[in-house]
Amino acid sequence: MAPRPSVSDASLWRNPGVVMLLVVQLLMSIRDMPIGSFLVVYLQSAGYAATTITQVVSGAQVTGMLVAVLAGRLALRHSSKRLWVVGIAVSALSALVFHTTAAWWVVLCWLIGGAGASLASISGSSVLTMMGRQQRIGTLSSLFVICFTIGGVIGSPLAGWLIEQYTYTGYSTVLLGFSLLGIVLIWRFIPDAPVAAPRTLEASSSGFDWAFLRQFAVLAILGMRGLATVHYGMMMVMVPLLINRLTSDLYVVALYGSVMLFVSSIAQFLTGRAADRWGAKWPTIVAFAIMIACGIVLALGAESMPVLFVGGVISNAAAWALLTLMYLWVADWVAPPQHPLLFGWLHAVWNVSMVIGSLIGGALVDISSGLPFVVTGLLNVVSLALVTRLYRQEPSSHPVATA
């Protein structure tokens, strides 16, 4: 596929909707990224058992996964902009867990908030691809994801300072303020996304999801996202674990995390720029090839700290680059009104694949330290086949792209 026509960088930044899209993403990341870590500390100080805490925390991920597909179907009938507002409002309930330690209140607010966070993530992604059709979508999607990373870097120390100065109740109030500000900015500056035509809605009520999922482009995007996430989910667990096993130095583990975030952010931006210039096909192939090569190198050098450190950073950078490219896959091959439906399925696939990746790592590392890397890395040979076949056809010949 040829690269899409794109506007200049100056025109991109003159669009208030684009700027506010990134501002809201940054605000919501500052709000959301640290809250899970501080919830664990809050519940631990309240006397909750470790098992109970993990069940509460993981419960939000389960409710988010369950609501993911439903969120996509809702967006067929309603504007993604409106659903983004609803998702942010509902996810704000997570902040209310800090107002009491009563178990029923903590569980209720956290689970409902997790469902809202899933809705906000899916609808926000749909707004991105809708706006990106007329913008430099590669650059825009990379900045969208980078804002999430920056928000996490800012959010954690800010949360610690707020709790230290104003207690958890004050921290909760600030989180609610961030939510309200995000809602106002979306309502004022973000344009409405298209909704599905009545014919599509009628199909949706009679099993449209299954007809949608039978399209090759949809299956290929889900497969590419899932296989990359299986490898990434394994890496997130195994590389820090093996580095700590070799060095017994938490500072090295922390340094690895910081370098990984920095390099991955640069990789995302460069990938977005490359995709704007040359299209998404070759950046995608290169990213999957790097992931496969790193899997083999890490398998051979799993007992070497330098190999683990460098290979882990590069492999994670490739995975994060693929996250940026995912938005281009959707924009290239799926009709805009159907983006929320696909993002719902992608969110569910991401959750399942993260669990599968960590389980594969835990099961294989006791057999051989390098085995998880080569197994999950080589799975992405299938991804290379999928992207090659996907971009071999023309969008005009594809039923989903012309829906």
Determine what percent of the chain is predicted with pLDDT higher than 90: 43
- Lowest mean pLDDT of 89-103, 159-173, 361-375, 382-396, name the range: 382-396
Domain boundaries, the chain: 9-195, 208-397
DSSP assignment letter at 176? H
Q: Can you read off the two tokens belonging to residue 168? A: 């958890």
Domain 9-195 and domain 208-397, same fold? Reply is: yes
The reported pTM is 0.81
Residue 14 has pLDDT above 80, yes or no: no
314-352 tens-digit pLDDT: 999 999 999 999 999 998 888 887 888 899 889 889 888
| Under 8 Å between Cβ of 392 and 282 | no
The mean pLDDT of 64-85, rounded to a whole number, is 80
* Spacing of C-alpha 201 from chain mean position: 27
- CATH fold label, 9-195: Growth Hormone; Chain: A; (1.20.1250)
CATH topology of domain 208-397: Growth Hormone; Chain: A; (1.20.1250)
How confident is the model at residue 271, as a pLDDT?
94
The CA distance from 122 to 86, in Å, is: 12
Mean of per-residue pLDDT scores for the chain? 85
What are 146-171's pLDDT values in tens digits? 998 888 888 888 998 999 899 999 99
At what angle are helices 305-333 and 339-364 packed, to 10 degrees? 160
Contacts of 297 by beta carbon, 8 Å cutoff, 6+ apart:
307, 311
Q: In this predicted structure, what is the pLDDT of residue 132? A: 66
Q: Which two tokens stand for residue 153?
A: 């870097």
The CA distance from 190 to 186, in Å, is 5
Name the residue with higher pLDDT: 6 or 187. Answer: 187
pLDDT band at 194, cuts 50/70/90?
A: low
Q: How far apart are CA 184 and CA 91, in angstroms?
A: 15
Residue that wins the pLDDT comparison between 374 and 366:
374
Would you place residue 28 in the very low, low, confident or very high pLDDT band (cuts 50, 70, 90)?
A: very high
Token representation of residue 39: 């919830």
